[in-house]
Amino acid sequence: MKRALALHIAVLAVLFAAQFVLPPYHHTNIARIMVLAVFAMGYNIAFGYTGLLSLGHALFFAAGLYATGLGIEVWGVPTAVALILGVAAGGAIAAATGVLALRTGGVSFMIVTLMFAQTGYLTILYYGEYTRGDEGIVIARTARAISNLDFSADTPRYFTALALFSIALLVNLVLVRSRLGRSMIAMRENEERSRMLGYDPFRVKLIALSISGLYAGAAGAAYAVLFGYIGASFATIQYSILPLLYVLLGGAGTTLGPFLGALLMFYLIDISSGYTTAHLFVVGAALLVLVLFAPKGILGALREKGAKWLP
Protein backbone atom coordinates (compact mmCIF):
# COMPACT_ATOMS: atom_id res chain seq x y z
CA MET A 1 0.00 0.00 0.00
CA LYS A 2 2.87 2.38 0.81
CA ARG A 3 4.45 1.96 -2.63
CA ALA A 4 1.09 2.44 -4.36
CA LEU A 5 0.35 5.60 -2.33
CA ALA A 6 3.84 6.97 -3.04
CA LEU A 7 3.35 6.38 -6.78
CA HIS A 8 0.00 8.19 -6.79
CA ILE A 9 1.38 11.16 -4.85
CA ALA A 10 4.35 11.31 -7.23
CA VAL A 11 1.99 11.47 -10.23
CA LEU A 12 0.05 14.30 -8.59
CA ALA A 13 3.31 16.13 -7.80
CA VAL A 14 4.40 15.88 -11.45
CA LEU A 15 1.04 17.24 -12.60
CA PHE A 16 1.34 20.11 -10.12
CA ALA A 17 4.83 20.98 -11.40
CA ALA A 18 3.72 20.66 -15.05
CA GLN A 19 1.75 23.92 -14.77
CA PHE A 20 5.01 25.81 -14.14
CA VAL A 21 7.21 23.88 -16.58
CA LEU A 22 5.18 23.16 -19.71
CA PRO A 23 4.32 25.77 -22.38
CA PRO A 24 0.86 27.42 -22.10
CA TYR A 25 -0.45 25.31 -25.01
CA HIS A 26 -0.39 22.22 -22.82
CA HIS A 27 -2.11 23.74 -19.79
CA THR A 28 -5.63 23.55 -21.24
CA ASN A 29 -4.86 20.17 -22.82
CA ILE A 30 -3.77 18.58 -19.54
CA ALA A 31 -6.69 20.17 -17.66
CA ARG A 32 -9.04 18.56 -20.21
CA ILE A 33 -7.20 15.23 -19.92
CA MET A 34 -7.52 15.25 -16.12
CA VAL A 35 -11.28 15.87 -16.31
CA LEU A 36 -11.73 13.12 -18.92
CA ALA A 37 -9.54 10.84 -16.78
CA VAL A 38 -12.01 11.27 -13.90
CA PHE A 39 -14.74 10.18 -16.32
CA ALA A 40 -12.63 7.17 -17.31
CA MET A 41 -11.95 6.34 -13.63
CA GLY A 42 -15.69 6.08 -13.12
CA TYR A 43 -15.95 3.78 -16.12
CA ASN A 44 -13.08 1.70 -14.75
CA ILE A 45 -14.94 1.18 -11.45
CA ALA A 46 -17.82 -0.38 -13.38
CA PHE A 47 -15.88 -2.21 -16.08
CA GLY A 48 -12.34 -2.77 -14.83
CA TYR A 49 -13.17 -3.69 -11.25
CA THR A 50 -16.74 -5.00 -11.41
CA GLY A 51 -16.88 -6.45 -14.93
CA LEU A 52 -19.81 -4.33 -16.15
CA LEU A 53 -19.25 -3.60 -19.85
CA SER A 54 -21.40 -0.51 -20.37
CA LEU A 55 -22.08 1.55 -23.47
CA GLY A 56 -24.22 4.04 -21.57
CA HIS A 57 -21.71 6.16 -19.68
CA ALA A 58 -22.21 9.09 -22.04
CA LEU A 59 -25.64 9.42 -20.39
CA PHE A 60 -24.08 9.89 -16.94
CA PHE A 61 -21.46 12.34 -18.23
CA ALA A 62 -24.15 14.31 -20.09
CA ALA A 63 -26.36 14.30 -16.99
CA GLY A 64 -23.64 16.07 -15.01
CA LEU A 65 -22.85 18.37 -17.93
CA TYR A 66 -26.45 19.48 -18.52
CA ALA A 67 -27.51 19.64 -14.88
CA THR A 68 -24.67 22.08 -14.27
CA GLY A 69 -24.86 23.98 -17.57
CA LEU A 70 -28.64 24.41 -17.61
CA GLY A 71 -28.58 25.13 -13.89
CA ILE A 72 -26.30 28.10 -14.50
CA GLU A 73 -27.63 29.39 -17.84
CA VAL A 74 -31.36 28.60 -17.71
CA TRP A 75 -32.33 28.24 -14.06
CA GLY A 76 -29.94 30.85 -12.64
CA VAL A 77 -28.52 28.51 -10.00
CA PRO A 78 -25.25 29.63 -8.32
CA THR A 79 -22.20 27.93 -9.83
CA ALA A 80 -21.25 26.04 -6.66
CA VAL A 81 -24.79 24.63 -6.32
CA ALA A 82 -24.88 23.78 -10.04
CA LEU A 83 -21.69 21.71 -9.67
CA ILE A 84 -23.27 19.73 -6.83
CA LEU A 85 -26.39 19.22 -8.96
CA GLY A 86 -24.20 17.85 -11.76
CA VAL A 87 -22.51 15.29 -9.52
CA ALA A 88 -25.85 14.24 -8.01
CA ALA A 89 -27.46 13.96 -11.45
CA GLY A 90 -24.76 11.60 -12.70
CA GLY A 91 -25.11 9.34 -9.67
CA ALA A 92 -28.91 9.40 -9.68
CA ILE A 93 -29.23 8.60 -13.39
CA ALA A 94 -26.67 5.79 -13.02
CA ALA A 95 -28.58 4.31 -10.07
CA ALA A 96 -31.91 4.51 -11.93
CA THR A 97 -30.32 2.92 -15.01
CA GLY A 98 -28.75 0.20 -12.88
CA VAL A 99 -32.04 -0.76 -11.21
CA LEU A 100 -33.38 -1.73 -14.64
CA ALA A 101 -30.26 -2.68 -16.63
CA LEU A 102 -28.76 -4.94 -13.95
CA ARG A 103 -31.67 -7.31 -14.39
CA THR A 104 -29.72 -8.40 -17.46
CA GLY A 105 -26.07 -9.35 -17.87
CA GLY A 106 -23.24 -9.66 -20.37
CA VAL A 107 -24.07 -8.52 -23.91
CA SER A 108 -27.67 -7.80 -22.91
CA PHE A 109 -26.46 -5.35 -20.24
CA MET A 110 -24.27 -3.61 -22.82
CA ILE A 111 -27.19 -3.25 -25.24
CA VAL A 112 -29.61 -2.01 -22.58
CA THR A 113 -27.17 0.66 -21.37
CA LEU A 114 -26.63 1.73 -24.99
CA MET A 115 -30.41 2.10 -25.40
CA PHE A 116 -30.61 4.26 -22.26
CA ALA A 117 -27.78 6.45 -23.55
CA GLN A 118 -29.44 6.86 -26.94
CA THR A 119 -32.69 7.78 -25.20
CA GLY A 120 -30.82 10.48 -23.29
CA TYR A 121 -29.26 11.80 -26.50
CA LEU A 122 -32.63 11.92 -28.31
CA THR A 123 -34.21 13.62 -25.29
CA ILE A 124 -31.60 16.38 -25.49
CA LEU A 125 -32.39 16.85 -29.19
CA TYR A 126 -36.17 16.76 -28.58
CA TYR A 127 -35.99 19.53 -25.99
CA GLY A 128 -33.76 21.63 -28.22
CA GLU A 129 -35.70 24.73 -27.23
CA TYR A 130 -33.90 24.54 -23.88
CA THR A 131 -30.78 22.50 -24.69
CA ARG A 132 -30.14 23.92 -28.21
CA GLY A 133 -29.35 20.40 -29.37
CA ASP A 134 -26.19 19.95 -31.43
CA GLU A 135 -25.61 23.71 -31.44
CA GLY A 136 -25.16 23.62 -27.68
CA ILE A 137 -24.86 26.40 -25.14
CA VAL A 138 -21.84 28.54 -24.40
CA ILE A 139 -21.81 29.36 -20.70
CA ALA A 140 -21.12 33.03 -20.00
CA ARG A 141 -17.64 33.70 -18.67
CA THR A 142 -19.03 35.70 -15.76
CA ALA A 143 -21.02 32.65 -14.64
CA ARG A 144 -17.97 30.40 -14.61
CA ALA A 145 -16.68 31.62 -11.28
CA ILE A 146 -17.11 31.08 -7.55
CA SER A 147 -16.35 34.19 -5.54
CA ASN A 148 -13.05 35.52 -6.97
CA LEU A 149 -12.06 32.17 -8.51
CA ASP A 150 -12.45 32.53 -12.29
CA PHE A 151 -12.51 29.06 -13.89
CA SER A 152 -12.21 30.50 -17.40
CA ALA A 153 -8.63 31.66 -16.66
CA ASP A 154 -5.84 29.17 -17.41
CA THR A 155 -4.28 28.84 -13.95
CA PRO A 156 -7.48 28.46 -11.87
CA ARG A 157 -8.85 26.05 -14.48
CA TYR A 158 -5.73 23.89 -14.35
CA PHE A 159 -5.55 23.71 -10.57
CA THR A 160 -9.29 23.09 -10.24
CA ALA A 161 -8.99 20.18 -12.68
CA LEU A 162 -5.98 18.94 -10.70
CA ALA A 163 -7.91 19.19 -7.42
CA LEU A 164 -10.82 17.20 -8.87
CA PHE A 165 -8.45 14.62 -10.33
CA SER A 166 -6.50 14.30 -7.06
CA ILE A 167 -9.64 13.72 -4.97
CA ALA A 168 -11.04 11.24 -7.50
CA LEU A 169 -7.75 9.33 -7.73
CA LEU A 170 -7.17 9.03 -3.99
CA VAL A 171 -10.79 8.09 -3.31
CA ASN A 172 -10.49 5.48 -6.05
CA LEU A 173 -7.34 4.07 -4.43
CA VAL A 174 -9.08 3.78 -1.06
CA LEU A 175 -12.20 2.30 -2.68
CA VAL A 176 -10.45 -0.54 -4.51
CA ARG A 177 -8.53 -1.49 -1.34
CA SER A 178 -11.70 -1.48 0.77
CA ARG A 179 -14.08 -4.35 1.50
CA LEU A 180 -16.48 -2.99 -1.13
CA GLY A 181 -13.67 -2.86 -3.68
CA ARG A 182 -12.73 -6.46 -3.01
CA SER A 183 -16.35 -7.55 -3.36
CA MET A 184 -16.50 -5.72 -6.71
CA ILE A 185 -13.45 -7.64 -7.89
CA ALA A 186 -15.06 -10.87 -6.66
CA MET A 187 -18.09 -10.11 -8.87
CA ARG A 188 -15.81 -9.60 -11.84
CA GLU A 189 -13.91 -12.83 -11.27
CA ASN A 190 -16.73 -15.23 -10.34
CA GLU A 191 -20.22 -13.97 -9.63
CA GLU A 192 -21.70 -17.36 -8.74
CA ARG A 193 -18.97 -18.19 -6.23
CA SER A 194 -19.41 -14.73 -4.69
CA ARG A 195 -23.13 -15.40 -4.33
CA MET A 196 -22.35 -18.67 -2.54
CA LEU A 197 -20.13 -16.74 -0.11
CA GLY A 198 -23.06 -14.53 0.85
CA TYR A 199 -22.60 -11.48 -1.39
CA ASP A 200 -25.57 -9.95 -3.17
CA PRO A 201 -24.42 -9.42 -6.80
CA PHE A 202 -27.25 -7.00 -7.63
CA ARG A 203 -26.49 -4.80 -4.62
CA VAL A 204 -22.72 -4.73 -5.21
CA LYS A 205 -23.12 -4.00 -8.92
CA LEU A 206 -25.70 -1.28 -8.28
CA ILE A 207 -23.41 0.44 -5.79
CA ALA A 208 -20.47 0.16 -8.21
CA LEU A 209 -22.52 1.59 -11.09
CA SER A 210 -23.83 4.42 -8.90
CA ILE A 211 -20.30 5.38 -7.81
CA SER A 212 -19.26 5.17 -11.44
CA GLY A 213 -22.09 7.58 -12.28
CA LEU A 214 -20.97 9.99 -9.55
CA TYR A 215 -17.52 10.10 -11.13
CA ALA A 216 -18.99 10.62 -14.60
CA GLY A 217 -21.34 13.32 -13.30
CA ALA A 218 -18.48 15.10 -11.53
CA ALA A 219 -16.45 15.04 -14.76
CA GLY A 220 -19.40 16.38 -16.77
CA ALA A 221 -20.11 19.14 -14.24
CA ALA A 222 -16.45 20.18 -14.17
CA TYR A 223 -16.26 20.12 -17.97
CA ALA A 224 -19.22 22.50 -18.24
CA VAL A 225 -17.73 25.05 -15.85
CA LEU A 226 -14.05 24.76 -16.79
CA PHE A 227 -14.52 24.78 -20.56
CA GLY A 228 -17.78 26.69 -20.83
CA TYR A 229 -19.70 24.60 -23.34
CA ILE A 230 -22.44 21.96 -23.28
CA GLY A 231 -23.81 20.20 -26.37
CA ALA A 232 -25.63 17.07 -27.50
CA SER A 233 -22.41 15.63 -28.98
CA PHE A 234 -21.29 14.80 -25.41
CA ALA A 235 -24.24 12.40 -25.12
CA THR A 236 -23.42 10.40 -28.28
CA ILE A 237 -22.06 6.85 -28.38
CA GLN A 238 -18.57 8.31 -28.90
CA TYR A 239 -18.50 9.48 -25.29
CA SER A 240 -19.41 5.99 -24.11
CA ILE A 241 -16.62 4.43 -26.17
CA LEU A 242 -13.91 6.96 -25.28
CA PRO A 243 -13.62 6.02 -21.58
CA LEU A 244 -13.59 2.35 -22.60
CA LEU A 245 -10.65 3.02 -24.94
CA TYR A 246 -8.82 5.01 -22.24
CA VAL A 247 -9.26 2.15 -19.77
CA LEU A 248 -8.20 -0.53 -22.27
CA LEU A 249 -5.12 1.45 -23.28
CA GLY A 250 -3.95 2.33 -19.78
CA GLY A 251 -5.01 -0.90 -18.10
CA ALA A 252 -8.44 -2.06 -16.91
CA GLY A 253 -8.60 -2.67 -13.17
CA THR A 254 -5.70 -0.31 -12.38
CA THR A 255 -6.19 3.03 -10.63
CA LEU A 256 -3.77 4.98 -12.85
CA GLY A 257 -4.73 3.22 -16.08
CA PRO A 258 -7.57 5.63 -17.00
CA PHE A 259 -5.29 8.67 -16.68
CA LEU A 260 -2.45 7.06 -18.63
CA GLY A 261 -4.87 5.97 -21.35
CA ALA A 262 -6.48 9.43 -21.60
CA LEU A 263 -3.07 11.12 -21.73
CA LEU A 264 -1.66 8.84 -24.44
CA MET A 265 -4.84 8.82 -26.53
CA PHE A 266 -5.19 12.61 -26.41
CA TYR A 267 -1.63 13.30 -27.51
CA LEU A 268 -1.61 10.46 -30.03
CA ILE A 269 -4.56 12.16 -31.76
CA ASP A 270 -3.06 15.63 -31.28
CA ILE A 271 0.34 14.74 -32.73
CA SER A 272 -0.87 12.47 -35.56
CA SER A 273 -3.46 15.03 -36.71
CA GLY A 274 -0.57 17.39 -37.39
CA TYR A 275 0.79 14.97 -40.00
CA THR A 276 -2.30 13.34 -41.49
CA THR A 277 -6.06 13.71 -41.67
CA ALA A 278 -6.28 9.95 -41.07
CA HIS A 279 -5.40 10.31 -37.39
CA LEU A 280 -8.12 7.85 -36.38
CA PHE A 281 -6.33 5.22 -38.47
CA VAL A 282 -3.22 5.85 -36.35
CA VAL A 283 -5.28 5.45 -33.18
CA GLY A 284 -6.83 2.24 -34.51
CA ALA A 285 -3.39 0.84 -35.42
CA ALA A 286 -2.06 1.67 -31.94
CA LEU A 287 -5.02 -0.07 -30.30
CA LEU A 288 -4.55 -3.10 -32.56
CA VAL A 289 -0.91 -3.38 -31.52
CA LEU A 290 -1.97 -3.02 -27.88
CA VAL A 291 -4.58 -5.78 -28.14
CA LEU A 292 -2.05 -8.11 -29.76
CA PHE A 293 0.90 -7.51 -27.44
CA ALA A 294 -0.59 -6.10 -24.20
CA PRO A 295 -4.27 -7.13 -24.03
CA LYS A 296 -4.48 -6.05 -20.37
CA GLY A 297 -3.30 -2.53 -21.16
CA ILE A 298 0.02 -0.90 -20.35
CA LEU A 299 -0.20 -0.95 -16.56
CA GLY A 300 -2.00 -4.30 -16.62
CA ALA A 301 0.94 -5.77 -18.54
CA LEU A 302 3.43 -4.24 -16.09
CA ARG A 303 1.51 -5.70 -13.15
CA GLU A 304 1.42 -9.10 -14.82
CA LYS A 305 5.17 -9.03 -15.47
CA GLY A 306 6.24 -8.27 -11.92
CA ALA A 307 4.73 -5.08 -10.47
CA LYS A 308 2.12 -7.01 -8.49
CA TRP A 309 1.70 -4.12 -6.05
CA LEU A 310 0.06 -1.87 -8.66
CA PRO A 311 -3.54 -1.32 -7.47
pLDDT tens for the chain, 311 residues long, are 678 888 899 999 999 999 999 888 899 999 999 999 999 999 999 999 999 999 999 999 999 999 999 999 888 899 999 999 999 999 999 999 999 999 998 889 999 999 999 999 999 999 988 899 888 999 988 889 888 888 989 899 999 999 999 999 999 999 999 999 999 999 998 888 888 888 899 999 999 999 999 999 999 999 999 999 999 999 999 999 999 999 999 999 999 999 999 999 999 988 888 888 877 788 888 888 887 888 888 898 888 887 777 77
| Alpha-carbon span 145 to 234, nearest angstrom | 22
The rounded distance, in Å, linking the Cα atoms of 92 and 112 is 17
Domain boundaries, the chain: 2-236
Q: Are 72 and 202 in contact (CB under 8 A)?
A: no
Contacts with 245 (C-beta within 8 Å, 6 or more apart), sequence order: 261, 265, 287
- Cβ pair 71, 77 in contact under 8 A: yes
Distance from C-alpha of 12 to C-alpha of 255, rounded to nearest angstrom: 13
Could you tell me if residue 301 is left (phi over 0), alpha (psi between -120 and 50 degrees) or otherwise beta? alpha
